[in-house]
A and B are shown apart, each in its own frame.
Chain A
Amino acid sequence: MSDILMAPEAANPPRAITEKTLTDALLYLNGVSVTFDGFRALNALSFTVDAGEMRAIIGPNGAGKTTMMDVITGKTRPDIGEVFFNGGTTDLTKLDETEIATLGIGRKFQKPTVFESHMVIDNLRLALKGQRGALANIFRRETGEERDKIDAIFETIRLSDHRYRLGGALSHGQKQWLEIGMLLAQDPKLLLVDEPVAGMTDAETAQTAELLRAINANGHSVVVVEHDMTFVRDLGVRVMCLHEGSVLAEGTLDQVSANERVIEVYLGR
């Protein structure tokens, strides 16, 4: 718990983007702008995420949080700006969702989307890292370690008792977890998690925070978009505040929430 709070990069002051960071940064956005007929969703957005880092992103509605995820996952193409992955080796703007996903970027949607008419276990089976080819999957058989992996994930997301229920039959919170579980199954380098605790009870929220920290602990980089400040506090990681499509402030939650302009934006003065 505490060790994660004291995680080294959490204390670091905001850094300007330099060649050095480009090479070791896992994810690297530079001057990304996206415009939907007139409305600027992203405005010269630049930031980096390092390998193994967990980053929380806050910001009022329309700050461009979801658009940012769309850009990273290839759902939306930026008008200008560069998006690099793996220390600048891969240009994400050239790839489509599938390719980006196979590169190791997993995404959890704001509205939990699991495969409702599949059993929970099948949801995980589908997400499990491995063969993605259509023809090959016709004759695919489930291997022993795949089964073990799934069991492990079930442990992590605490849904072992629900494995044979239909995804659609789960509660909202359980769906959120299942979706996170599916992300784990994909075993991505980077998880993009959009409002994971929306509509969760406080208990569930706390558990989710723990879960994400655990995930981050065993080597996954995580970017969490969330409104819920207590949750962000629970995460206790570097926070970045977006506003009108660009970074407004960055630092620990306390630093950020102390920031004049952030307060202005939030309290709309």
Chain B
Amino acid sequence: MSHPDTTPGARPPALLGTQGAIFLAIVLGAAVLIPALNLLTPAGSALHVPTYLVSLLGKYLCYALLAMSVDLIWGYVGILSLGQGAFFALGGYAMGMYLMRQIGTRGVYGDPVLPDFMVFLNWKQLPWFWYGFDWFPFAALMVLVAPGALALVFGWFAFRSRVTGVYLSIITQAMTFALLLAFFRNDMGFGGNNGLTDFKDILGFNVQADGTRAVLFALSALALAFGYVLCRYLVRSHFGKVLIAIRDAEARVRFTGYRAENYKLVAFVVSACLAGVAGALYVPQVGIINPSEFSPANSIEIIVWVAVGGRGTLAGAALGAVLVNYAKTYFTSGVLAPYWLFMLGGLFVAVTLFLPKGIVGTFLDWRSRHAEAEPDVPGATPKPVA
């Protein structure tokens, strides 16, 4: 675990440390193995991975990417967004709208253009903002543009008027709450509380076919890997060093001649786009997108995943997301069902008290204490900021 920079005048640091390599190995390995085990092995064989598990894990991976997007701005820039769920949901809606349009005449009313919910609320024609979503490239573009644009506008205002700390956190929460209320309204034309569901196929493949699920899983894994490499590259670039500097001493950064707000804005938008991608991959795998994804509670939960895994460690965020959600899956069935909230709540309290740096953060500390080495990720263990 030697830092590339220990010799004067060394080349810029390698993109991946061991930690990153391990992480990628696992994710990419899963991307190959899980679908293989699902499709190639006969059901009932010891190695067989049931489809149920594939889409479940796929869901976890989307959450992992979402958590990573939060870690990028929280762990490295100190922006605590309590509204990240909004970007996730917007990406999800963009994908959901595409999937709705794909249903075509197979809706219960057999209307070629209008989704069912519009028919029985007798809407006459498609609202303008639904145009184009029947064309995949456009929808795919919107997956990035919708959350990106929201982040751009919101961030542009917030960062240049130097809203920071809890104030920023609370208005991000207000933002997602406003969107929650807006999308609940049936008049908005997004299916109200029921949201978008009963999808048939994506790019011509049946969303429920095992093959499609396997591919979606693999894609989620690749997206996560890509997201990791991207974030990793960003935080290790000169740009990323400025981000961390902003987190630790924003005023100093300004006096050093950097436009802190622009740096924050770029990071914020990138993070929003990642969240959007996560949402887009999430929707076809869980089969529904509805306004509850906007609920502030969801966004807070994302923060919790990151904290559990270890803030400012990227891989930790992903790990936290998977662990917490697995715990949720596990606790919510069987004898534990009535008590799972105790366990989840207890887990959060315990982590904050005993693992303030999260699982990975704590581990990295432990390691750097043992093997005398600089942290692999710059600012891996940030001092508390908000």
CB within 8 Å of B: which residues of A?
73, 75, 96-98, 101-102, 106-107, 109, 113-119, 121-122, 125-127, 131-135, 137-142, 147, 151, 163-164, 166, 182, 186
- Does the CB pair A142–B254 fall under 8 Å? no
| Residues of B in contact with A (beta carbons under 8 Å apart) | 3, 5-6, 8-9, 12, 234, 237-239, 241-242, 244-245, 248-249, 251-260, 262-263, 265-266, 374, 378-379, 381-383
Query: In the complex, what residues of B have CB within 8 A of residue A122's CB?
Result: 241, 378
Given the complex, which residues of B lie within 8 Å of A114, measured CB to CB?
Answer: 249, 252
Q: List 13 A-B contacts (CB under 8 A).
A: A73-B255, A98-B260, A107-B255, A118-B244, A119-B378, A122-B241, A126-B245, A132-B257, A134-B242, A137-B239, A138-B239, A141-B12, A164-B6
Residues of B contacting A139 in the complex (Cβ-Cβ under 8 angstroms): 237
List, in ascending order, chain B residues with CB within 8 A of A138's CB.
Answer: 234, 237-239, 266
A117-B383, A141-B12 are contacts. A98–B257 as well, Cβ < 8 Å? yes
- Tell me the complex Cα distance, A186–B262, Å: 20
Contact assessment for A135 and B266 in the assembled complex, using a CB-CB cutoff below 8 Å: yes
Judged by DSSP, the binding face of A is mixed
A132 shortest CB reach to chain B, Å: 5
Evaluate contact between A132 and B241: CB separation under 8 angstroms.
Answer: no
A125 and B241 contact, CB distance less than 8 A: yes
**Which of A121, A127, A135 is close to B256, meaning CB atoms less than 8 Å apart?**
A127
Assembled-state Cα–Cα distance A225/B21 (Å): 50
| B259 to chain A: closest residue by CB | A98
A194 to chain B, nearest CB (A): 11
Please give, as numbers and ranges, the residues of chain A lying within 8 Å of B254 by CB-CB distance: 96-98, 101
Please report the C-alpha to C-alpha distance between residue A137 and residue B8 in the assembled complex, in whole angstroms. 22
Assembled-state Cα–Cα distance A195/B260 (Å):
26
Contact B238 A109 (CB under 8 A): no
4 closest Cβ pairs, A-B complex: A101-B257, A117-B379, A97-B254, A134-B262
Q: Is the CB of A140 within 8 A of B248?
A: no
Q: How far is the CA of A26 from the CA of B379 in the complex (A)?
A: 39
In the bound complex, CA of A151 to CA of B254 (Å): 24
Note all chain B residues with C-beta closer than 8 A to A98: 254, 257-260
Chain A residues whose CB sits within 8 angstroms of the CB of B241 once the complex forms? 118, 122, 125-126
User: Are B378 and A118 in contact, with the CB atoms below 8 A?
Assistant: yes
Question: How many Å from the CB of B146 to the closest CB on chain A?
Answer: 21
CA A60 – CA B260 in complex, angstroms? 34
- Contact of A134 with B263 in the complex, beta carbons under 8 Å: yes
The reply to whether A116 and B383 form a contact with Cβ atoms under 8 Å apart is yes
Q: Are A113 and B237 in contact (CB under 8 A)?
A: no
Measured in the bound complex, the distance between the Cα atoms of B257 and A117 in whole Å is 19
> In the complex the two chains form, is B379's CB within 8 Å of A140's CB?
no
Report chain A residues within 8 Å CB of B378.
117-119, 122
- Which residues of chain B are near A75, meaning CB under 8 Å? 251
Contact A115 B3 (CB under 8 A): no
Q: Give Cα distance in the complex from A186 to B374, angstroms.
A: 26
Whether A132 pairs with B237 at a CB distance below 8 angstroms is: no
Most buried by A among B245, B255, B381: B255
Is A134 touching B266 in the complex (CB atoms < 8 A)? yes
Distance of A132 Cα from B254 Cα, bound (Å): 11
Q: Which residues of A contact B253 (CB under 8 A)?
A: 126
Q: Which of B6, B255, B263, B265 contacts A101 (CB 8 A)?
A: B255
Decide: A126 and B242 in contact? CB cutoff 8 A: yes
Q: In angstroms, how far is the closest chain B Cβ from the Cβ of A52? A: 22
Given A115-B252, A118-B241, A164-B6, 14 more A-B residue pairs with CB atoms under 8 Å apart are: A116-B248, A117-B382, A117-B383, A121-B5, A125-B241, A133-B262, A134-B242, A134-B263, A134-B266, A135-B266, A138-B266, A139-B237, A141-B12, A166-B374
Residues of B within 8 A of A117 (CB): 244, 248, 378-379, 381-383
Shortest CB distance A118–B (Å)? 6
B258 CB to closest chain A CB (Å) equals: 5
Contact of B8 among A102, A135, A163 (CB under 8 A): A163
Taking a contact as CB atoms closer than 8 A, the residue among B12, B242, B251, B255 that contacts A137 in the complex is: B242
> Inside 8 A of A96's CB, which chain B residues have their CB?
254
Q: State how many angstroms separate the Cβ of B131 from the closest Cβ of chain A.
A: 31
Q: Least Cβ distance of B256 to chain A in Å?
A: 5
Q: Are A142 and B257 in contact (CB under 8 A)?
A: no
From A96, A107, A126, A140, name the one whose CB has the most chain B CB atoms within 10 angstroms: A126
CB-based contact B245/A118 at 8 Å = yes
The reply to whether B237 and A140 contact each other, CB–CB distance below 8 Å, is yes
Q: How far is the CA of A230 from the CA of B5 in the complex (A)?
A: 40
B9 near A115 (CB under 8 angstroms)?
no
